[in-house]
Amino acid sequence: MADVVLATYGITKTFGSLVACDDVSINVRAGEIHAIIGPNGAGKSTLISQICGTLIPDQGRVELMGQDITALSGRARALAGLGRTFQISQLAMEDTVLQNVILGGVGATRRQWHFIQPILSHHDLREQAEAVLERVGLIDDRHRQTAILSHGQKRQLEVAIALMLKPKIFIMDEPMAGLGLEGSKQLTMLLDDLRHQAPILLVEHDMDAVFTLADHISVLDYGKVIASDDVDAIRNDPVVRDAYLGKDS
Amino acid sequence: MISERMINIILIGLLVIIPAWAYLADEPFTITLMTRAVIFALAAVGLNLALGVGGFVSFGHAAFFGLGGYVMGVLAWHAQSYTPFLEWPFLIEGTQSMPVIWVIAVILSALLALVIGVVSLKTTGVYFIMITLAFAQMMYYFSISWSAYGGEDGLSIYVRNSFPGLNTLDPIQFYSICFIILMAVLALMARLVKSPYGLALNAARQSPKRVEAVGLDLHQLQLLAFVISGAITGLAGALFADLNRFVSPNMFSWQLSGEFIVFIIIGGVGRLFGPVIGALVFVGLEHFLGEINDYWHIYLGLILLLIVLFSKTGVMGLLVKKEAHHG
Ligand SMILES: Nc1ncnc2c1ncn2[C@@H]1O[C@H](COP(=O)(O)OP(=O)(O)OP(=O)(O)O)[C@@H](O)[C@H]1O
Ligand SMILES: [Mg+2]
């Protein structure tokens, strides 16, 4: 399958006697949004951590564009093309919005060993950052301090930083969490547009967003993939309804 | 409320006007006090890069200060006693040339910081504090036991080292050297924190996970900050030894490491000119209160307590209105 961007093969992770991920194999293809759903504690974040390199799987491997990246550090995976947003915002809160976005560009262009020229006169990075901020809808807030942004704006900023990396795939852990109706609508529109740039692996509890956005859904339950199919098939799958959807829809 | 830039300009003004007045009024002792303050400020400017910008609290920066001091002491001692420092495998003579001493002090302090940094930056928080303290204590006891260079008594240098074209024994001329070095280092710092590297180091303090997620190596960023930091404090140590024409194990003492931290806290953690305020306040108290009362450190403690209670960003934070702060 030539268009598979990210794949996991038989990922297994245990914490003591708890099997958090049990033989998880998923594929994310070019141009698609692949959602991972499942009840609390199903192992979604644990899977994301293993894909992004913050946790090492006990078994199995992760491939990006056919290359085995299981042995790479989180940092190297970011450079290899994983653009990650965090479930809990990870931002330089004292810095401005623009500085946070430019930081992504510093990493992507490996300019961290430039010591003299002020960062704001690296005009290529600055222009790129402003274009990205325009796109996520934060351009008017670029000189504000990050700490005073609303929760929704912080989520948008996380996406903006990931965009600076020009990733081969976006990996997003619950980007809608804590957003109001308006906020999740906005972010849904943004993600909808992003898929043309790079596919998205999306962990999300917000079912409206998932059914609007996803091309493909994998359902995790007790660490196992109990279903993986297109949206309509998942919606009508009795096993899935039973394990998960039945409770809220 | 005034801007931080305005305060910085006022501080530079003080560093020019007070010694100029003292020179005209023929008060060499005041010039010497100001020299002391400027050198302490330089040492703390070095520490501020690690502690304020990088966010790791080194409680062992006296290691670099003392090393810089001993570089000066040992080289000048060999020069004044006409004995070579090393004869084999190649000849190294002592020297009384300030620029040569500075270069060597900076290089050796940077190397020491590299070694200490590689070991200690694997840890954080209290462990980092303890490991840096332990390294400085090792240097302290080593200097005490090294009897060839005076052991506990230290080394006295009879003539201040030389700088081409200047009479360094003239207090105002030596002050000028120290002042210009401080200004040059502050200018470099100002550039550094605004550079891409500075942005990354600043972000590394605030959100390590973010920095890794954009493909930056946290450890390398911090290690370099520690090395630059140590080199600057080492340079200050060489100047301090030259000011006193004396170096002793006390330059490695943990009290001194603590005082550098105090300068930064008084002035404002991470603020460019914070250490300048801290060092001026410290030397001022030491002089004025020290004359009245031997226990003047109590007042220093009180001031520190008040500052920490009322402002997280020191005197600078009290004077400057709250703003998005970066470098
Ligand atoms: N570091 C850890 N040590 C021990 N147990 C852990 C660890 N991390 C996660 N777990 C456990 O593994 C299971 C899966 O956790 P995980 O965070 O992956 O779930 P999740 O699907 O992301 O849940 P949520 O929807 O609440 O975010 C949970 O039972 C959790 O308690
Ligand atoms: Mg989770």
Q: How do residues B190-221 score in pLDDT, each as one tens digit?
A: 999 999 999 999 999 999 999 999 999 999 99
Considering only CA atoms, which residue is closest to atom 7 of ligand 1? Answer: A15
Tell me which amino acid residue A218 is. Answer: S
Q: Which residue does chain A place closest to B187, by CA atoms?
A: A116
Tell me chain A's radius of gyration from C-alpha atoms: 18
**Relative to the CA of A87, which ligand 1 atom is closest?**
27
One domain, residues A153 and A173: no
> Please, which pLDDT band fits residue B168 given cuts at 50, 70 and 90?
very high
One domain, residues A95 and A199: no
Q: What per-residue confidence (pLDDT) applies to A249?
A: 44
Tell me which amino acid residue A224 is. Answer: K
Are the C-beta atoms of B71 and B108 separated by less than 8 Å?
yes
Q: Is the CB of A42 under 6 A from ligand 1?
A: yes
Helices of type H across chain B: 4-24, 28-48, 62-80, 98-120, 125-145, 171-194, 196-206, 208-213, 218-244, 254-267, 274-292, 297-310, 314-319
- Global pTM reads 0.93
Q: Which residues contact B276 (CB under 8 A, 6 or more apart)?
A: B11, B15, B41, B45, B182, B186, B267
One domain, residues A97 and A157: yes
One domain, residues A128 and A204: no
% of chain A at pLDDT higher than 90: 83
Q: CA-based angle B171:B176:B179, to the nearest 5?
A: 120
One domain, residues A162 and A172: no
Interface of B with A in 175-234 (CB under 8 A): 191-192, 194-200, 202-203, 206-207, 209-217, 221
Q: Is the CB of A34 under 6 A from ligand 1?
A: no
**Relative to the CA of A223, which ligand 1 atom is closest?**
14
Rounded-to-10 torsion of CA A26, A30, A31, A33: 10
**d(C-alpha A64, C-alpha A81), whole Å:** 8
Query: Which of A54, A96, A106, A114 would you mutate first to test chain B, the one with the most B CBs within 10 A?
Result: A106
Best residue among A8, A22, A24, A46 to mutate for probing ligand 1's pocket (most ligand atoms within 8 Å of CB) is: A46
pLDDT tens-place string over residues A192-248: 999 989 999 999 988 889 999 999 999 999 999 998 999 989 888 888 777 665 554
Domain boundary among A111, A139, A166: A166
Is residue B312 classed exposed, middle or buried when 0-12, 13-18 and 19+ CB atoms within 10 A define those classes? Answer: exposed
Question: Between chains, do A106 and B200 touch, taking CB under 8 Å as contact?
Answer: yes
Q: What per-residue confidence (pLDDT) applies to A241?
A: 78
DSSP A139-181: GGGTTSBGGGS-HHHHHHHHHHHHHHT--SEEEEE-TTTT--H
Could you tell me the two tokens for A242? 């039973």
Question: Between chains, do B191 and A116 touch, taking CB under 8 Å as contact?
Answer: yes
Query: Which of A98, A110, A119 would you mutate first to test chain B, the one with the most B CBs within 10 A?
Result: A119
Q: Which residues contact B230 (CB under 8 A, 6 or more apart)?
A: B46, B50, B61, B63, B64, B109, B110, B112, B113, B116, B117
Q: How many CB atoms lie within 10 A of CB B119?
A: 13
**Relative to the CA of A44, which ligand 1 atom is closest?**
21
Q: If you average pLDDT over residues B175-179, what whole number do you get?
A: 98
Q: What residues of chain B lie within 8 A of the CB of A113, using their CB?
A: 196-197
pLDDT tens-place string over residues B99-109: 999 999 999 99
Q: What per-residue confidence (pLDDT) applies to B120?
A: 96
One domain, residues A16 and A130: no
**d(C-alpha B117, C-alpha A101), whole Å:** 29
Give the residue from B168, B170, B186 showing the smallest Cα distance to B15. B186
Tell me chain B's radius of gyration from C-alpha atoms: 20
Are the C-beta atoms of A243 and A226 separated by less than 8 Å?
yes
Partner residue facing A90 (CB), from B197, B207, B326 = B207
pLDDT tens-place string over residues B54-107: 999 999 999 999 999 999 999 999 999 999 998 878 888 899 999 999 999 999
Q: What residues of chain A lie within 8 A of the CB of B193, using their CB?
A: none
One domain, residues A199 and A245: yes
The topology under which CATH files domain B4-326 is ABC transporter involved in vitamin B12 uptake, BtuC (1.10.3470)
Q: Which residues contact B20 (CB under 8 A, 6 or more apart)?
A: none
Domain that holds residue A188: 1-81+168-249
One domain, residues A70 and A179: yes
Sign of CA dihedral B10, B16, B17, B22: positive
Q: Is B321 on the interface with A (CB under 8 A)?
A: no
Question: Can you give the residue ranges of every domain in chain B?
Answer: 4-326
One domain, residues A121 and A188: no
- Mean model confidence pLDDT for chain B: 94
Is residue A175 classed exposed, middle or buried when 0-12, 13-18 and 19+ CB atoms within 10 A define those classes? Answer: buried
Q: Is the bond preceding residue A199 a cis peptide, omega within 30 degrees?
A: no
Q: Which residue has the higher pLDDT, B119 or A239?
A: B119
One domain, residues A76 and A199: yes
One domain, residues A206 and A218: yes
What ipTM was estimated for this complex? 0.91
Ligand 1: centre distance to CA A44 (Å): 8
Q: Is A244 helix (H, G, I), strand (E, B) or coil?
A: helix
Could you tell me the two tokens for A196? 């043309």
Domain with residue A16: its CATH number is 3.40.50.300
Are the C-beta atoms of A231 and A50 separated by less than 8 Å?
no
Q: What per-residue confidence (pLDDT) applies to A181?
A: 86
Q: What residues of chain A lie within 8 A of the CB of B202, using their CB?
A: 92, 94-95
**d(C-alpha A58, C-alpha B140), whole Å:** 47
Q: What per-residue confidence (pLDDT) applies to B326?
A: 45
Q: Is the CB of A50 under 6 A from ligand 1?
A: no
Residues in A whose CB is inside 8 Å of some CB of B read 52, 74-76, 78-79, 84, 86, 90-96, 99-100, 102-104, 106-108, 110-120, 122, 143-145, 161, 164-165
Phi, then psi, of A107 in degrees rounded to 5 = -65, -45
Please report the beta strands in A16-168, taking only residues with DSSP state E, as ranges in sequence order. Answer: 18-29, 33-37, 59-64, 67-68, 82-85
Q: Which residue has the higher pLDDT, A105 or A249?
A: A105
Could you tell me the two tokens for A119? 């960062």
Q: How many CB atoms lie within 10 A of CB B92?
A: 12
Question: Between chains, do A74 and B196 touch, taking CB under 8 Å as contact?
Answer: no
One domain, residues A118 and A160: yes
**d(C-alpha A118, C-alpha B2), whole Å:** 24
Q: Is the CB of A66 under 6 A from ligand 1?
A: no
Alpha carbons within 13 angstroms on the beta-carbon side of residue A143 total: 2
- Mean model confidence pLDDT for chain A: 93
What is the domain count for chain A? 2
Q: What residues of chain A lie within 8 A of the CB of B199, using their CB?
A: 95, 99, 102-103, 106, 119
Give the residue from B264, B249, B240, B245 showing the smallest Cα distance to B50. B264
Check pLDDT > 80 for residue B49: yes
Q: Is the CB of A49 under 6 A from ligand 1?
A: no
Ligand 2: centre distance to CA B173 (Å): 64
Q: What per-residue confidence (pLDDT) applies to A1?
A: 53
Check pLDDT > 80 for residue B172: yes
Are the C-beta atoms of A35 and A200 separated by less than 8 Å?
no
Ligand 2: centre distance to CA A173 (Å): 7
Are the C-beta atoms of B251 and B66 separated by less than 8 Å?
yes
Q: If you average pLDDT over residues B234-251, what whole number do you get?
A: 97
